[in-house]
Amino acid sequence: MLPRLIIVAILLAILASLFSGMYFMLKDRGQSQRNVKALSIRIGLSLLLFALLIAAYLTGLIHPNAVQP
């Protein structure tokens, strides 16, 4: 259950960063670097999630297409 919660939390953080980047893009109209910073954080979180998914699969914490009893 814990791996699922971690994955969902990271996905929510990715979405929050994506929407903050959109907000800064519309509010600042290209006059600041906050948009670039927010989108860079999103890319970092996406890479972290990908690495965690691979590590969880290799250690056996998650299984693709697993049938839950």
Determine the number of helices (DSSP H) and then strands (DSSP E) in the chain.
2, 0
Higher pLDDT, 10 or 68: 10
Rounded distance, CA 67 to CA 69, Å?
6
Higher pLDDT, 65 or 11: 11
Find out whether 35 and 24 touch, Cβ atoms under 8 Å.
yes
Domain boundaries, the chain: 2-59
Report the amino acid identity of residue 19.
F
Interval 18-63: pLDDT, tens: 998 888 888 887 777 888 888 899 999 999 999 999 999 999 888 8
